[in-house]
Amino acid sequence: MTTPDRRRTGNPVPQWGSQGEPHPAHDTVPVPEPAAVTPVPTADDHDAVLAERDRLRQTVADVEHTRTRATWFGVVIGAIILVLLLVFIVQNLESQRIELIFWEVNLPLGVSLLIAAIAGALIVAIIGGLRMLQLRRALKRAAG
């Protein structure tokens, strides 16, 4: 059976020999297409290519430093730290007695250090947030 494409183009369907190859009597010799003439580049073409390359470099430089990239970098670093913290907690499961003023608790060492790290991070975040709020108010006063 012939394919519809071969019927439209008028090319004969190859007859397959015993070796699975087309029969030489039915092969068509492809006619080479004339070689395309490549235009000689001019100075204007060269300047246009350089300008396009500079524009692309500037676009890449603008995209390299974005808030999204910084956020993604922070998420990846945070995930790595969490994995390391999980390994630390699993390796330090011995229970310790912790006393703070009038509190007394028995917690695994890794869990107690995790709680301390979270408390420290919250303190830093609160102080940083208050400082940003203070600077924002100062900028608003200076601007208007």
Q: How many other CB atoms are found less than 10 A from the CB of residue 139?
A: 10
Least confident of 1-5, 37-41, 79-83: 1-5
User: Is the pLDDT reported for residue 35 higher than 70?
Assistant: no
- Is residue 74 very low, low, confident or very high in pLDDT (cuts 50, 70, 90)? very high
Q: Is 60 among the domain residues?
A: yes
- Is residue 67 very low, low, confident or very high in pLDDT (cuts 50, 70, 90)? confident
| CA gap 81, 75 in Å, rounded | 10
Q: Is 18 among the domain residues?
A: no
Q: Is 15 among the domain residues?
A: no
Assigned token pair, 115: 């709680």
User: Is the pLDDT reported for residue 143 higher than 60?
Assistant: yes
- Is residue 90 very low, low, confident or very high in pLDDT (cuts 50, 70, 90)? confident
Q: Which residue has the higher pLDDT, 128 or 32?
A: 128
Mean pLDDT of the chain: 79
Q: How many other CB atoms are found less than 10 A from the CB of residue 110?
A: 19
Q: Residue 108 contacts by C-beta under 8 Å, 6 or more apart in sequence?
A: 89, 92, 93, 94, 95, 96
What domain count does the chain have?
1
Q: Is 119 among the domain residues?
A: yes
Q: Is 23 among the domain residues?
A: no
Q: Which domain holds residue 135?
A: 52-97+106-143
Q: What is the DSSP letter of 16?
A: B
- Is residue 69 very low, low, confident or very high in pLDDT (cuts 50, 70, 90)? confident
Q: Is 33 among the domain residues?
A: no
Q: Is 44 among the domain residues?
A: no
